[in-house]
Amino acid sequence: MTKIAELKDKGAVVAWSPIGDHADVVALGSKEKGGIGFDDYGGELELYDWNITQNNHDGGMPEPTLLGSVKTATRFGSLAWSTGDIDTSILAGGMLDGTVNLWKPSALIGAAGGSVTAEDALLASVQRHEGAVSALKFNPHADSSNLLATGGTAGQVWMMDMATTQTMNSVNVYSPNGDDANGSSLGGEVTQVAWNSQVSHILASSSANGSVVVWDLRQKKPWCELRVESNNSSVSDVAWNPTQGLHMMTASEGGQGGLKLWDLRASTSMPLTTLEGGHAGGVLSMDWCPHDDTLMVSCGNDNRTLLWDLYSLRPIAEIPAEDSAAPSNQNQQNGGQPNDFYGGGLGTSQQKRYDVSWSPCRRGVVSTCSFDRKVQAHSVVGLATKCGRPPKWMSPASGVSCGFGGAVVSISNNTNSDSQQPQRYVTIDNVVEHPELVSASEKFETEFGAKDCIAYCHDMTARASDAYEGQVWSFMQIMFETNAREELLSYLGFDPEKIQAAAMEFTEEDDGIDEDGGDASAATKGAPAMSQRAENTVKDALLVGNFEAAVECCFRSGNLADALVLASCGGADLWQKTQAQYFAREAKNRPFLSLVSAVIHDRLPDLVAASDPAKWKETLAVLSTYGKSEEFPRLCAALGERLEGEAAGDFANASLCYMCALNLGQAVKYWKFMLVEKANINNEEKSSATTTEDLLSLHEFIEKVTVFTQALDSSELELDDDVAKLFAKYAESLANQGLFVAASKYLKGCGDTQECKELRDRIYRSRMGGFCPDLISSPPDFPYDFVNVGVASDLQGITVKQGGVQQMMQQHQQQLEHPSYEVASVDAAQTANQVQQQQAQVQQSQQQVQQSPQLQPTQSEGPSSSSLPPGWVAIQDPTSGQTYYANQNTGESSWEPPAAPAPQPAVTSNTYAAQPSAASQPSPTIQTQGSYSTSNGGSTSQKVASKYGDGFVTSASNPQLAEQYGNVGTSNPYSNANRPGTAAAAVGSTSKKAPVSGTFDPHSMPALSEEYQYLQDGLMAIVEQLSACATGSMEKKQAAESRKAVAVFIKTVARGGVDAQICNRVGLMLSALQNRDYGSASSLVTGLVSNEW
């Protein structure tokens, strides 16, 4: 059940509260006399709160609450509630005696304890109508909410200005046609008035004589008049589209009337369409949903209340009527209802509803009033979803979707200041989440590209945040110097020129005491004296030529200088042995001798192994001075390993040594350690700023590694897994900020992980993919494997052939490499033009296949392109991997191969025959574009698209209409829900004739047979007169459309495309027009449009 609230024994007219704070409040004006008997006790105005949002724990409906009431002298014919708040809004009641009473709702609310007097609530009373006030509406626009339109049973329409009603209790009354004395008379009872939803000075009024007048209050005259019903049956209701100011719906009480949709831009004489499949009889009331312009509710003489989907122009649900059950126990205890006197519940005829209305505040809530004196509220939210889409009020007013590279697509509804119509905006922004990272990256890319490496490293040294960073960038700068070793010595504090000057100027002062505490005078005078015995031993050894013994004796006697002099005369072996012994004896007293020994004996690795970690700069200086080019990197790496040892643990200075060794893998270990330490510290803080700091730290790491790699002579540098992951993370961070070009540069050495493959592919296919030289020169592989998951063997009656994926790929590739063309032309020029177009299509298809890995060449089991009719191509469905066929000229598609065109014996004006060549037989006739099409069969009565063929009532050329109501014109080739865009099987494929041109040229019209020549002469004369009489833009447009329609009709008759019966009916219509019998002519046109066209 849809019923959510009910008021019984209330035969009344209803007006919903438009105030958000009182959304569940309704005003009821008694339409029928209450009580039992023949006495007339007047009427009553009541305010009820439905309590729709009240939580009823027992599962039943909430009990409405009476907020206040006031007695009236007469009963109500209509009721309306103006916009505003509870203090400024006005309740207007149209009474049966022709009076319009205005009340203050604020005076009524809160008076439930007892009825208030009329004087307390009444603002003003206006008597201008000669009969009952049957319709009244307040202007919904904020700038004109003081205007009230009223209509009466005497056919008068009056405007009432409430601008001074609240303060002076006065109302300004005037007529919409400027005749303020007599008013505007429509010649019949005014059944409804409706303000335009977009333009505040446009008003529509419906009449019981079958017409609707659209008033322009500024011009004070009718803008147009619609003859809704030719048989003068009553137009019971009229409503404007809530979002389209030129769309109108009319309802008629006549048995053949119903609901008609009008587009005032196209025609004021013929509706856009008539809603069918709904009420069997006339329509008593209808209301267009203010929250979703595709929904409408109506009630009719057939005792049905229907919910319509205006997109499909069909009813989607019926709001059920009250069951005719036996009276409840409570009613029996209370004496029963008056209608229960004759045997219980009412039949369906007594449950007929005469009024339906949407709540302006509660979305999806409808009120109904029925002849069995019941006022009900229904929730149609569930019913509204039966159209296959959610109601618009369930759609979010705004939404956002985040895309790749910081792209953010947002939708929003904004109301224009000049119009109440919400405008839908789609905004595409590029949101930068970390602007500091973007700034740092752009600065690095700009400066590093504009400067040389030495200058950039020098600037980075000056901007270093700490001493270690300064050392790193200084070492980085030295790596790019041509005299790197000299610069390294200078940076370590060992300037050769300064050292030479200090040695040349060195003088040792005589302080009388040597280092051992002895007399220093002896050392300054020369070597210590040799004893006589030692001197004799040395002399004897020299006499026999035993220099080795003489050197040994000198060492034992302490005369080291004499030993070195004698060793120089004893050969190379003795010289080396003597040097080694000398260095071993004196290294403790003179530490520099160990350095001399290592240099002389080429033992720098041993020097590094025995070096003091605290004096690593001296060791590095020695390696820079005496190390050979081929062994220098190895020695620096050994020094770094010694600094990393457990005894030293100096990882920072070790990384500098690895930099000198050009060992990137070892140098970045400490940089990664620092990066992890900063990340751990930031993770403990857990703030948004820490994420930016992490990315900036990562940027500094990438910056150092990038500059370091410039010093390495290797174009194919392979990074280890950890560094590659950091590069991939950095590239992803840049891509998320929209820096695609910079991100692509850092993906080169990231390896072939799945994440890197996906990121390369996304950047390559992004809007900036064409500006990434690294990806353009070598397009990345598609990161996913193509897998044919297959399709169902029978999908909604569509049979799909299962074929091998490899075969489909091979055949599609063959079609691309060796395309075949079928040219149907008369002359060589047209042949060349078609060939060029097909070649362009093939080239475009090849580019799509190359650029889109999802659409790989396939081979199907169907025929090759050479056997397809002109315009048809074979395309692979990227979802299923199967091949379907599409007509590039008509937009049709089919899983099954299209049939070849049947040969035709003759060539007409719309077909061409291929010229036979000397080596071939004459080819069959081939039709041109538009000759091959498919259509889904269906009865004519079910085709909304086949009703209107006059051109100006079609929505095919109006995207807004096509989107809102679907295509209801003859240019729509689809007869059911099958729409282009997905491959669907062609059912009942038939060949259609070429379209008929709508060009109207009296001198080139085809000649008709004598039987129908009078049709051509009469129709052409009428359209010529219409063109001559047309003055306004709308009339000129209608005249032009009429010329087009007549041209299409005459040409179709000449081709034999119109039945004789239809031609005879058109002749009757022509005769009626010539005799000025416009009623009969209109009936004939309506019959042709409804049943034939």
- Statement: residue 996 has pLDDT above 60: no
pLDDT at 101: 92
Distance (Å, whole) CA 114 – CA 278: 45
CA distance 329 to 333: 6
- At 769, the pLDDT band (50, 70, 90 cuts) reads confident
Which ranges of 216-325 would DSSP assign to H, the alpha helix? none
CA 607 – CA 621 distance, rounded (Å): 12
Mean pLDDT over the full length of the chain: 74
pLDDT category, 1071, cuts 50, 70, 90?
Answer: confident
Q: How far apart are CA 860 and CA 883, in angstroms?
A: 6
Among the residue ranges 244-253, 353-362, 521-530, the one predicted with the least confidence is 521-530
Q: What is the mean pLDDT of residues 846-870?
A: 48
Token duo for residue 297 = 């509710």
* Rounded distance between C-alpha atoms, residue 437 and residue 692, angstroms: 7
The DSSP line for 629-677 is: TTTHHHHHHHHHHHHHSTTT--HHHHHHHHHHTT-HHHHHHHHHHHHHH
The answer on pLDDT for 426 being more than 50 is yes
pLDDT value of residue 538: 64
Question: By C-alpha distance, which of 156, 46, 151 is closest to 103?
Answer: 46
Q: Kindly state the tokens that stand for 426.
A: 């789609």
Would you say the C-alpha torsion 183, 184, 188, 189 has a positive or negative sign?
negative
d(CA 886, CA 868): 10
Whether 123 contacts 171, CB under 8 Å: no
Burial class of residue 1061 (count of CB atoms within 10 Å of its CB; 0-12, 13-18, 19+): exposed
Walk across the sheet containing 211-216 and list its strands.
Answer: 190-195, 202-207, 211-216, 221-227
**Token pair 């049966």: residue:** 96
pLDDT over 80 at 439, yes or no: yes
pLDDT at 695: 85
What is residue 132's predicted lDDT score, i.e. its pLDDT?
A: 92
Does the structure show a pLDDT above 70 at 804?
no
Of the candidates 588, 594, 621, 590, the residue with the CA atom closest to the CA atom of residue 607 = 594
What are the pLDDT digits (tens) for 924-963? 333 333 333 333 333 333 333 333 333 333 343 344 444 4
Task: Output the pLDDT for position 298.
Answer: 94
Report the C-alpha gap between 651 and 641 in whole angstroms: 9
pLDDT band at 678 (very low <50, low <70, confident <90, very high): confident
Top-confidence residue, 357 or 1011: 357
Contacts of residue 159, defined as CB under 8 A and 6 or more positions apart, other chains included, come to 147, 148, 149, 150, 173, 174, 175, 176, 217
- Among the ranges given (18-22, 689-693, 811-815, 939-943), the one the predictor scored with the smallest mean pLDDT: 939-943
- Of the pLDDT bands very low, low, confident and very high (cuts 50, 70, 90), residue 29 is very high
Which region among 388-392, 485-489, 490-494, 565-569 has the lowest average model confidence (pLDDT)? Answer: 565-569
Chain mean position to CA 262: 32
- Which of 594, 669, 659, 648 lies closest to 624 in space, CA to CA? 659
For the chain, what percent of residues have pLDDT higher than 70?
A: 68
Residue that wins the pLDDT comparison between 165 and 1052 = 1052
Reply yes or no on whether the pLDDT at 802 is more than 60.
no
Position 830, amino acid: Q
Which residue in the block uniquely carries the two structure tokens 């909304």?
944
Backbone angle region of 807, left / alpha / beta, with phi > 0 → left and psi within -120 to 50 → alpha: alpha
More confident residue, 394 or 931: 394
Q: Which range has the worst mean pLDDT, 137-151, 327-341, 733-747?
A: 327-341
Q: What is the pLDDT of residue 1036?
A: 80
- Residue 1021 one-letter amino acid: A
Q: Which band of pLDDT confidence, cut at 50, 70 and 90, is reported for residue 76? A: very high
Convert the pLDDT of each residue in 284-294 to its tens digit: 999 999 999 99
Binning pLDDT at 50, 70 and 90, where does residue 793 land? Answer: very low
- pLDDT over threshold 80, residue 744: yes
Tens-digit pLDDT profile for residues 157-202: 999 988 776 666 678 888 888 777 777 777 789 999 999 999 999 9
Tell me the three state secondary structure of residue 595: helix
Query: Residue 667 has what pLDDT?
Result: 86
Q: Which residue has the higher pLDDT, 93 or 749?
A: 93
Q: Give residue 716's pLDDT.
A: 55
Is 90 exceeded by the pLDDT of residue 99? yes
526-554 pLDDT, tens digit per residue, is 455 677 777 667 666 655 566 677 777 77
- Between 271 and 547, the higher pLDDT residue: 271
pLDDT attached to residue 56: 61
Q: Phi and psi dihedrals of 688, rounded to 5?
A: -65, -30
Residue 595, pLDDT > 90, answer: no
Please give the residue that has the higher pLDDT: either 497 or 666.
666
Please write the tens of the pLDDT for every residue from 194-230: 999 999 999 999 998 889 999 999 988 899 999 888 7
